[in-house]
């Protein structure tokens, strides 16, 4: 059941939600009780064996009962160690108390009997105590480090609000519990003019002040709903609204955030008024998975921005998915697929010392008038109308054939990286299609890399994981694309048998605008390395970004700073220059 504001008390709603996302594993009380009972049982057996002077017959052989004293004493200490490892502070303090009592009793027995027969047990308990103290300290340091990494992973460094990852984790948990909620996307209007006029520092102050106002509303609970405000990227925010009874409640809550936004802002002596375009969609009425909820909210928000009317709030309706431009691009896309006019360009990837790693194949579309459509125009349409698998399938086959010939000609060990959509990857025939591509093209499997997004684990984690494992068995590499804006949890990410992690361009763009932005990229790289991945940053366009990535340990670079997308013949010339 969702907590109310009064139940949370002094802890804010946002902090409470973040804690539920980023908290370390909870202590298992049943496990603690089991270890404690086993320890007590083993200790009792030790006392019984030590006090019994007779023999025990096992398989016809008579064994002195005292011989079992050491065995069960060691077993008791094993349970003590398990308690410390799995039950954290509760287990540690219980173990210390038990050992101190045991040591005291042994010493008293030695003093009373004036015999040293219990001396080995005394030293065993002392050494066990030293071992569990060292083990506890090391585990606590490790847990604290993991907590810091998780805190960075769920927090926007500039505003202190939860970030996109925290938002996705919350939505994922709400969907699993089948709880009703609304996803509200908020995009500040004309915010670029603030940066252009007053500078990035002033722009950051504006974002921080807006975030502070909204955080106060969310934490106060005065809206009457349970709100979770977070920053997605740049001037984009999202608001998750729960515990409402009608659409009027949603509008009432959004109005409070809009009113707070509309109040005068004074930054560096300049008075500013900021407005926003707002769109929202509801679960489960409008959509039942994360991707569609965000896509539909974004469609409503984009339409609101396009209209530029006095009313800034729009609820998603299905007709927003089929504007005229979308229909025109869909027609061009279908024609291009029918006429085999989907082709590819190659963008080079380098390691940090500027050694060529390989290329990413990027989809391009030529219409019937031989005009080239931008990928940001036709790729979203292809995803929306269910043709993205045909697009990236065409790119995969053509790029692999070219690369196979290039590798045979040059003997180079370069890698071809190709995007594979979730829909394409999850098709029943995808693995056979991939095997056919490898056979026809002759490209070595370990020189082909498939880029997938974390969202592949959302709808059918087990099926996706099985598919990816089979791909890995073929020898093909796996890269996780657009890391940092993905929707899956770190637990899902940790299960993926991937080789490479790609940091999204949006983070690289802002990396040098503030120390917190740079630290955030450094945290992503650190997470990637901790999980055993190599890390590549895409969208690197400036030497200053390159220097910063070198300083914080990024492995590979992709972007205009070292190379724009080029045609196949230019890519071949580039490879030959490195041979």
**For residues 492 and 457, is the Cβ–Cβ distance under 8 A?**
yes
Task: Tell me whether the omega of the peptide bond preceding residue 355 falls within 30 degrees of 0, making it cis.
Answer: no
Percent above pLDDT 90 for the chain: 37
Q: What is the pLDDT of residue 46?
A: 72
Q: Is 8 left (phi over 0), alpha (psi -120 to 50) or beta?
A: alpha
Starting at the edge strand that comes first in sequence, how are the strands of the sheet with 226-233 ordered? Answer: 226-233, 236-242, 181-188, 276-283, 313-315
The residues near 381 (Cβ < 8 Å, ≥ 6 apart) are 326, 329, 330, 333
Return the number of other C-beta atoms located less than 10 Å from residue 146's C-beta. Answer: 14
Which residues in 135-196 belong to E strands, given as ranges? 181-188
Instruction: For strands 313-315 and 342-351, give the pairing.
Output: unpaired
Return the number of other C-beta atoms located less than 10 Å from residue 216's C-beta. Answer: 13
pLDDT tens by residue, 311-362: 678 899 887 776 666 778 888 999 999 999 999 999 999 999 999 999 999 9
How would you class 302 by CB atoms within 10 Å of its CB: exposed for 0-12, middle for 13-18, buried for 19 or more? Answer: middle
Cα separation, 579 vs 567, in Å, equals 19
Return the number of other C-beta atoms located less than 10 Å from residue 182's C-beta. Answer: 24
pLDDT tens by residue, 482-537: 765 544 446 566 778 899 999 988 789 888 888 888 888 998 899 889 888 999 99
Handedness of CA 544, 550, 553, 555 (dihedral sign): positive
Q: Is 358 left (phi over 0), alpha (psi -120 to 50) or beta?
A: left
Cα separation, 148 vs 22, in Å, equals 9
Among 205, 229, 203, which residue's Cα sits nearest to residue 215? 229
3-state secondary structure 108-135: HHHHHHCCCCCHHHHHHHHHHHHHHHHH
pLDDT tens by residue, 359-411: 999 999 988 888 888 787 788 888 878 889 999 999 999 999 999 999 999 99
Q: Where are the alpha helices (DSSP H) in 221-358?
A: 247-262, 290-307, 324-338
Give the chain's residues under pLDDT 50. 1-11, 24-25, 486-489
Reduce the DSSP state of residue 404 to 3 states and report it. helix
Half-sphere CA count of 498, side-chain side, radius 13 A: 27
Reduce the DSSP state of residue 206 to 3 states and report it. helix
Please tell me the pTM assigned to this model: 0.49
- φ, ψ for residue 286 (rounded to 5)? -95, -35
Q: What is the pLDDT of residue 399?
A: 97
**For residues 336 and 330, is the Cβ–Cβ distance under 8 A?**
no
Q: How far is CA 65 from CA 49, 50, 113, in A?
A: 5, 7, 20
How would you class 532 by CB atoms within 10 Å of its CB: exposed for 0-12, middle for 13-18, buried for 19 or more? Answer: exposed
- φ, ψ for residue 575 (rounded to 5)? -65, -45
Reduce the DSSP state of residue 15 to 3 states and report it. helix
Q: Can you spell out the DSSP letters for 450-502?
A: EEEETTHHHH-HHHHHHHHHHHHHHT-EEEEEEETS--S-HHHHHHS--SEEE
**For residues 152 and 162, is the Cβ–Cβ distance under 8 A?**
no
């Amino acid at each position: 059941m969702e907590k109310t504001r009064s139940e949370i008390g002094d802890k804010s709603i946002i902090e409470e939600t973040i804690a539920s996302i980023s908290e370390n594993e909870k202590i298992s009380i049943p496990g603690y009780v089991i270890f404690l009972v086993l320890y007590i049982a083993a200790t009792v057996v030790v006392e019984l064996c030590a006090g019994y002077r007779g023999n025990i017959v096992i398989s016809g052989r008579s064994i002195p009962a005292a011989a079992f004293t050491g065995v069960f004493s060691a077993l008791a200490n094993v349970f003590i160690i398990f308690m410390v490892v799995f039950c954290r502070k509760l287990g540690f303090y219980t173990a210390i108390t038990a050992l101190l009592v045991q040591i005291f009793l042994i010493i008293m027995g030695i003093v009373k009997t004036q015999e040293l027969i219990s001396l080995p047990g005394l030293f065993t308990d002392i050494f066990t105590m030293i071992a569990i103290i060292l083990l506890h300290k090391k585990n606590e340091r490790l847990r604290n480090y993991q907590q810091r990494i998780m805190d960075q992973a769920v927090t926007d460094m500039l505003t202190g609000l939860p970030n996109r990852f925290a938002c996705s984790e919350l939505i994922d948990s709400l969907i699993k519990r089948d709880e009703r909620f609304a996803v509200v996307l908020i995009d500040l209007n004309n915010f670029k003019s603030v940066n252009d006029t007053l500078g990035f520092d002033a722009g950051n102050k504006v974002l921080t002040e807006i975030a502070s106002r909204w955080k106060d509303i969310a934490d106060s609970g005065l809206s009457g709903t349970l709100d979770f405000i977070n920053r997605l990227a740049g001037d984009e925010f999202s608001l998750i609204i729960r515990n409402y009874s009608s659409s009027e409640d949603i509008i009432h809550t959004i109005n409070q955030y809009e009113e707070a936004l509309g109040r005068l802002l004074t930054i560096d002596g300049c008075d500013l008024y900021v407005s926003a375009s707002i769109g929202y969609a509801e679960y489960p009425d409008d959509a039942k998975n994360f991707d569609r909820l965000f896509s539909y909210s974004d469609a409503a928000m984009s339409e609101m921005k396009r209209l530029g009317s006095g009313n800034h709030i729009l609820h998603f309706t299905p007709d927003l998915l089929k504007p005229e431009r979308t229909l025109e691009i869909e027609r061009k896309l279908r024609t291009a697929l029918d006429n085999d006019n989907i082709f590819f360009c190659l963008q080079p990837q380098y390691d940090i010392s500027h050694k060529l790693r390989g290329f990413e194949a990027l989809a391009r579309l030529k219409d019937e008038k031989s005009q080239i459509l931008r990928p940001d125009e036709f790729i979203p349409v292809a995803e929306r109308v269910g043709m993205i698998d045909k697009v990236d399938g065409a790119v995969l086959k053509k790029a692999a054939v070219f690369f196979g010939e290039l590798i045979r000609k040059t003997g180079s060990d370069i890698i071809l990286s190709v995007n594979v959509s979730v829909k394409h990857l999850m098709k029943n025939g995808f693995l056979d299609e991939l095997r056919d591509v490898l056979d026809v093209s002759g490209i070595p499997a370990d020189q082909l890399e498939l880029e997938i997004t974390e969202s592949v684990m959302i709808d059918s984690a087990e099926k996706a994981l099985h598919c990816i494992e089979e791909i890995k068995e073929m020898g093909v590499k796996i890269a996780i694309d657009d890391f940092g804006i993905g929707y899956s949890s770190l637990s899902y990410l940790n299960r993926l048998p991937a080789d490479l992690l790609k940091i999204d361009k949006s983070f690289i763009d802002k990396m040098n605008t503030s120390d917190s932005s740079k630290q955030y990229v450094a945290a992503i790289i650190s997470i990637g390395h901790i999980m055993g991945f190599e890390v590549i940053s895409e969208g690197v366009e400036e030497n200053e970004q390159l220097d910063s990535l070198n300083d914080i340990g990024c492995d590979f670079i992709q972007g205009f700073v070292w190379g724009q997308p080029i045609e196949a013949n230019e890519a071949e010339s580039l490879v030959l220059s490195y041979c």
